[in-house]
């Protein structure tokens, strides 16, 4: 049976991996290429690579870094940040991305999702939504969580899947950086509304948070986190051992008869 995916997220600014608490207060962590290689060899099922400043100041992704990452790792790679046009899709796909994540770009141009899905297939288009409760309502935020769009989040996500978004990343701004667990109620609401894969993001503080996520929201396909992996607070092989013990199906690496490093 298909496994639940564990996805480290590499937020990249100026060619370095960073992770802010509640999207603010950035601290330099490491090189995207060496981190991606490390994760690929240590049980990550997929990587997400965001240029976190791109939507606010229009900065383009550093495509040479992306190319280096994509030629180093052989697991699925999703790229986001500053994706506003079909040309942006083209640019990152040519550099080795498998899926492209759109956020502010889809809010600015509602046709972006459908045009991209038509050209590259639904499986290639990931909608990333930054969601925060405003007066008790799930609300979509743009520009890295800085701008309230006033749009109701579940309706927005449904509309994007109808237009061809093949996967949804749900970033809860309310739980991001708090390290007190994923946003279970928000994820339940999204999973009840759509039939495409849903990736949970924001709030993981320890291994138990992943068990709680997959037990509480069966429709969730993957758990995404950054700092707890980057700082070594949670190791992915250990996390996967725990998930298996807790009855959650995950991919475990086996020994291979062929040694690639010979």
- Catalytic site positions: 11, 130
Which of 25, 110, 121, 237 forms a contact with another protein (CB under 8 A)?
A: 121
DSSP structure string for 173-188: TTTTTT-S---HHHHH
User: Between residues 195 and 245, which has the closer beta carbon with respect to another protein?
Assistant: 195
Residues near another protein (CB under 8 A), total: 36
| Distance between CA atoms of residues 71 and 122, nearest Å | 24
Minimum distance from residue 50 beta carbon to another protein (Å): 19
Dihedral sign for Cα atoms in the order 10, 223, 110, 107 = negative
| Distance between CA atoms of residues 169 and 199, nearest Å | 5
User: Rule CB under 8 A: is residue 40 a binding residue for another protein?
Assistant: yes
Length of the chain: 262
> Contact letters (x/-) for another protein, 200-239, by CB under 8 A?
---------------------xx-----------------
User: Rule CB under 8 A: is residue 193 a binding residue for another protein?
Assistant: no
User: Between residues 153 and 196, which has the closer beta carbon with respect to another protein?
Assistant: 196
| Distance between CA atoms of residues 7 and 2, nearest Å | 15
| Distance between CA atoms of residues 169 and 157, nearest Å | 10
Structure tokens at 134: 């405003």
Q: Please report, as ranges, the residues that interact with another protein according to CB under 8 A.
A: 1-3, 5, 40, 45, 67, 70-71, 74-76, 93-96, 98, 120-124, 166-167, 195-197, 221-222, 251, 253-254, 256-258, 260
């Amino acid at each position: 049976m298909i496994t639940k995916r564990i996805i480290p997220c590499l937020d990249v600014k100026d060619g370095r991996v960073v992770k802010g608490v509640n999207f603010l207060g950035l601290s330099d962590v490491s090189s995207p290429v060496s981190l991606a290689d490390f994760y690929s060899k240590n049980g990550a099922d997929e990587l997400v690579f965001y240029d976190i400043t791109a939507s606010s100041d229009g900065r383009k992704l550093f495509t040479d870094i992306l190319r280096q990452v994509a030629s180093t790792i052989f697991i699925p790679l999703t790229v986001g940040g500053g994706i506003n046009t079909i040309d942006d899709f083209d640019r990152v796909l040519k550099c080795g991305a498998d899926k492209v994540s759109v956020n502010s770009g889809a809010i600015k141009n509602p046709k972006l999702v459908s045009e991209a899905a038509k050209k590259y297939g639904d499986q290639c288009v990931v909608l990333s939504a930054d969601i925060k409760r405003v007066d008790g309502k799930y609300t979509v935020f743009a520009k890295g969580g800085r701008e309230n769009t006033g749009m109701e989040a579940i309706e927005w996500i449904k509309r994007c899947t109808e237009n061809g978004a093949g996967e949804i990343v749900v970033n809860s701004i309310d739980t991001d950086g708090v390290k007190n667990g994923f946003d279970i109620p928000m994820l339940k609401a999204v999973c009840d509304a759509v039939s495409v894969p849903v990736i949970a993001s924001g709030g993981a503080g320890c291994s138990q948070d992943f068990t709680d996520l997959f037990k509480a929201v069966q429709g969730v396909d993957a758990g995404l986190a950054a700092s707890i992996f980057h700082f070594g607070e949670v190791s992915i092989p250990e996390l996967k051992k725990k998930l298996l013990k807790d009855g959650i199906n995950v991919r475990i690496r086996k020994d291979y008869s062929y040694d690639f490093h010979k």
